């Protein structure tokens, strides 16, 4: 089902980022071509080299970095046009708010505004943040615009509390990816 599909993963800065390494690895194993965009904050948790090694592709962080040294490609347009699906995981309250407001101030947000492919968002954050009325409103707005969401789930959070805000199980995210790509 994923063989030959171009999946672009937008990785944001949150502690759940370590789980996205497993997501990239499993998607590659299923035959998908996986490319990764990292926000600057994401690089504070995991290095681009980790995702480059797992995906077998360059990792993109800088909006002004050329994708190809052989030909001129505008990175946010090129990445947006070739993906079959954009998955944002872990999606922070920050990225959700920026997307809902139409802010495009980094590579990931400019790709979001440039793509015509489906976008699946997998949030991960503290339960107080997830339940904040502003975040709830931003999620509702994005859902009304056709963005797909999976999770978050209930469980142990990075702060030591239990609550809703955990990144959804990676296997469930993969099943949702397959479902979105099937439709």
Which residues are catalytically annotated?
159
Task: Give backbone dihedrals phi and psi of 102, rounded to 5 degrees, phi first.
Answer: 75, 20
Task: Put residue 25 in one of left, alpha, beta given phi > 0 → left and psi -120 to 50 → alpha.
Answer: alpha
Among the listed residues 52, 16, 18, 53, the one whose alpha carbon sits nearest the alpha carbon of residue 36: 52
- How many other β-carbons are positioned within 10 Å of the β-carbon of residue 137? 12
Q: Are 156 and 163 in contact (CB under 8 A)?
A: no
SS3 99: helix
Strand partners, 128: none
């Amino acid at each position: 089902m994923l063989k030959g599909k171009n999946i672009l993963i937008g990785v944001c800065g949150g502690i759940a980022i370590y789980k996205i390494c497993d997501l990239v690895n499993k998607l590659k194993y299923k035959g998908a071509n996986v490319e990764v965009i990292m926000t600057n904050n994401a690089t504070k948790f995991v290095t681009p080299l980790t995702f480059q090694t797992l995906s077998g592709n360059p990792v993109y962080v800088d909006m002004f970095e050329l994708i190809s040294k052989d030909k001129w490609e505008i990175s946010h347009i090129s990445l947006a046009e070739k993906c079959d699906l954009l998955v944002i995981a872990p999606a922070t309250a920050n990225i959700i708010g920026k997307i809902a407001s139409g802010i495009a101030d980094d590579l990931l947000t400019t790709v979001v505004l440039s793509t015509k492919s489906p976008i699946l968002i997998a949030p991960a954050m503290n339960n107080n943040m997830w339940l904040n009325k502003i975040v709830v409103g931003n999620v509702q707005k994005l859902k009304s615009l056709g963005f797909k969401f999976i999770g978050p789930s209930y469980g142990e959070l990075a702060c030591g509390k239990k609550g809703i805000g955990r990144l959804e199980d990676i296997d469930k995210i993969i099943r949702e990816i397959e479902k979105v790509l099937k439709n």
